[in-house]
Amino acid sequence: MADEFDLIVVGGGPGGYVAAIRAAQLKLKVAVVEAKHLGGICLNWGCIPTKALLRSSEVNHLLHNLGEFGFSADNIQFDLDKIVKRSRGVSKQLSSGIAHLLKKNKVTVVEGYGRLTGGGHLAVNGADGKPKAMLHAPHIILATGARPRQIPGIEADGQLIWSYFEAMVPAAMPKSLLVIGSGAIGIEFASFYRNMGAEVTVVEMMDRVLPVEDAEISALARKSFEKQGMKIITSANVKGVVKGTDNVTVTVEAGGKEQQITVDRVIAAVGIVGNVENLGLEGTKVKVERTHIVVDGFGRTGEPGVYAIGDVAGPPWLAHKASHEGVVCVEHIAGKNPHPFETGNIPGCTYCRPQVASVGLTEAKAKEAGHELKIGRFPFIGNGKAIAMGEPEGLIKTIFDAKTGELLGAHMIGAEVTEMIQGYVIARQLETTEAELMHTVFPHPTISEAMHESVLDAYGQVIHF
């Protein structure tokens, strides 16, 4: 006999556990099937531990630039083991917190791997492959996440070539490394290791770093990274690697020329692959494209009663996207008539130094969509709080529809912009126009004042620049 539930969630990451808790709030009987760690990749090997590492690298950077603030110190050193241990401790604390939240909401947690067997049934096997449980529910949400994409011939080996798993728990600090890929994951690791003193080279196939960001912001980011000492090669391909005893020689082709770069370690950060294998999708009407499950705005797949959310359901591959997608999916299942999920107001954040954040359309995409634009810009050098903090490097860029005043997009680079982007996200969610933003009072002195000034600049009313 199968254990009966109203809803089964396969995967306990930021999509799965949030969906389960929301379902429990709606009085559904819920089970979560998780094979390894509650919180998923995000909490255990992604969003959270990398931010702990980056915080340590920011402290290291500040300690080596104390003179600007009137301090001096000798013999500054760091203990890599303690830095990694702190990062892992933060993840463990939060993972335990999720277990408490699920228990508090009376969600049943089943440890193992789930596989659809038809008719609303889900077989759960243990890590040893042996049957562990049989569950049944009219609704099953697949929230199995994704894993690092492997480059043929340059697969991560855990020693010389790292994925983000190995990059988060280094046994020793490499003196040099090469990062393949300059998306958020690649640039965050490049920023961490550079701030910790390693020589860093970034190789990007596209013509600019952070290629999903606005081109103007990408250019400013590259300028800042190179000023910090990073070497960046764009429009480039890795042609091959030769492993030494304790180093790697990478052949990089760019501009029709090849060069060999020898480094201690290589980090491969070229995207992710959805975890769609061994879920029992064969024989169902679930459609998979490019390793991701195809869903509609409510998370529904082609198979009645089967849903998918989060990274396994495609981009943007962001924890907050997965969480919100889970809420929409569950509220639809419970008959609450939520608005279908859309990605236009999902903010993107990269926690490098300087930070990068954005929401909505880039300038190029806005033009491509046929909008007549009004664009505002405000540099951090014109902001008193940024200068006082010693963070004068940055820019806020806002893009409006010239005819309607709609905020089409906002793009930011600089200190703490990952915290500030939410102001523009709320503005877009509420369909705010330039008029409301221009008449909103921003506190002084704050970096957020630059957000106000950027809006004013779009309409020729900027005050402080």
Mind telling me the catalytic residues? 444
- Among 451, 433, 426, 429, which Cα is nearest to 441's? 451
DSSP-derived letter for residue 60 is H
- Cα separation of 199 and 221, whole Å? 18
Query: Which amino acid belongs to residue 7?
Result: L
- Cα separation of 377 and 400, whole Å? 12
Q: Work out the widest C-alpha separation in the chain, in whole angstroms.
A: 71
- Among 356, 355, 406, 414, which Cα is nearest to 385's? 414
Token pair in block for residue 253: 């082709």
DSSP-derived letter for residue 351 is -
**Does an H or E element contain 434, and which?**
helix 434-438
- SS3 state of residue 208: coil
> Which residue carries 């990451």 as its tokens?
13
Contact 140, 307 (CB under 8 A): yes
DSSP-derived letter for residue 381 is G
- Cα separation of 188 and 164, whole Å? 10
Query: Which amino acid belongs to residue 86?
Result: R
Token pair in block for residue 206: 């596209």
- Cα separation of 343 and 363, whole Å? 17
Give the angle subtended at the CA of 255 by the CAs of 250 and 257, to the nearest 5°: 50
Burial class of 5 by CB neighbour count within 10 A (0 to 12, 13 to 18, 19+): buried
- Cα separation of 68 and 62, whole Å? 9
